[in-house]
Structure 1
Amino acid sequence: MAMRGAPNGRKGRAKGFTLVELMVVLVIFGLAAAVVVLTLPERGGSLFAEAERFAARAKAARDNAVLDARGATLTIGPAGYDISRRTENAHYDWVEGTEPALSGGSEGRIRFGATGLADPAQLVLRRNGRAVAVDIAGDGDVRIQR
C-alpha cells in the first residue's frame, strides 16, 4: 500500500490566521477607534455652537422687540444669561466651563429697543483655551467672530 504523504506532513496551507495577520487587524481597529474618538464633539457642544445659540437668541430677542414694539434686555452672568421682555423672561445656562466676558452694554446688560437698535457690545466666550466673540452693533446686527 502506498502512502500519500508524510504522516505529519500538511497538505496545503493550514486553516486559520497567522500572528502577523491578527496584529495588522488590531492596528487597523486601533486606528479606526482613534479617528472616531478624535471626531467626537466636545461635551455640551463646541464653543462656536454655544456662540451660535447665543447669537440666534439675541437676534430673536431683537426681532421680537421690533414686532412687539417693546424693548428686550439680555443680562449676561457667569452661570448663564437671561432674556427679559415685558411679558416673559427666559434663562439659559452656559455649558460647563464657559467663561463669558462682556464689554460694552451697561452693567452686564444689552438692551434692544423697540426699533431694533441696541447697546453696542461684544461678548467673548472662552473655554479650554479657545475664544469666540459675538458682536452686537448699535444697529442691532449680531455677528460671530472666531
Structure 2
Amino acid sequence: MIAMPSLFVADADPDRNTPRRADEGFSLIEMMTALFIMGLITAGAMLTLGGPRETLGREVDRLAASISGARDAALIRNRAVQVLFSSEGYERKVRTRAGWTALDPSGTPTPWVAGSSLQIGESGPEGAIVFDATGLTEGARLTLFRDGRAYDLTVTGDGRILREAVGE
C-alpha cells in the first residue's frame, strides 16, 4: 500500500487550538456576512421607496386604474359614471334617480400626492370624464405633473387609456 501524504499540517502553536478569546474581534467571514445582510436590507429599502419619478408613475397608474374602474362600473351597472377632477384630487360618481352619488364606499375624494397637479386638456385642473351606460366617453387628455416630470393619460372614446411619459 502506498502512503498518501497528509493534507493536514499540525499547527506548531499550541495556543491556536484553544477557544478564541473575546478580545480578538470578528473573523473575516462574520464581517462579510454582516455586510452582505446589510446590503440586502439597503437594496430592499431602495426598491421599496423609489424616487420621485417612481412615485409619479405609481400615481399615474392608480389614476388610470380608477378611470378604468369607472368605465367598468358604467358597463356593469348600466348607468352613467363620471370621474370628477379638482385641484385637490378626484372622485367617481354614479348617476342614480336621486342624482350623482359616490361610487366608492368611502364617499371621499382621492387626494393627489403632495406636490402633484393635473391639467385636463387646455382647461386646467377642473373637469370630468363621463362614461355612458355602454362605457363610451368623449375622450380626454390628462397630464399629471410633479417635480418637473409629467405623464400624459389619454382616454379614448371607447374607454381605452394610453399612458406616456412626457419629454422622453
TM-score by length of 1: 0.69
Q: Percent identity?
A: 28
3-state SS in 1 of match to 2:76:
helix
Equivalent residue for 1:41? 49
| Structure 2 partner of 1:111 | 130
Deviation at 1:108, TM superposition (A): 1.0
Indicate which of 76, 79, 91 corresponds to 1:82: 91
From the superposition, tell whether residues 64 and 33 of structure 1 become closer, same or farther in structure 2 (CA, over 3 Å). Answer: closer
Which ranges of structure 1 fall in alignment gaps of 5 or more residues?
A: 1-10, 18-26
Structure 1 residue 144 displacement after superposition? 1.7
Match of 2:116 in 1: 98
Question: How far apart are 1:36 and its partner, in Å?
Answer: 6.3
C-alpha deviation, 1:38, in angstroms: 4.8
| Alpha-carbon distance in 2 for matches of 1:145, 1:32 | 32
Counterpart code for 2:143: V
Deviation at 1:58, TM superposition (A): 0.8
Between the aligned partners of 1:81 and 1:134, the Cα distance in structure 2 is 15
**Normalization by structure 2: what TM-score?**
0.61
Aligned residue pairs, count: 137
Q: Residue 39 of structure 1: CA displacement?
A: 3.9
What RMSD over aligned residues (CA atoms) do the two structures have, in Å? 3.3
Partners of 1:104 and 1:121 within 8 A in 2: no
C-alpha contact 1:118 1:138 (8 A) present in aligned 2: yes
Which residue, out of 65, 74, 83, partners 2:74?
65
5+ residue gaps, structure 2, are 1-14, 26-34
Which residue, out of 116, 121, 125, partners 2:140? 121
1:72 to partner: Cα distance? 0.8
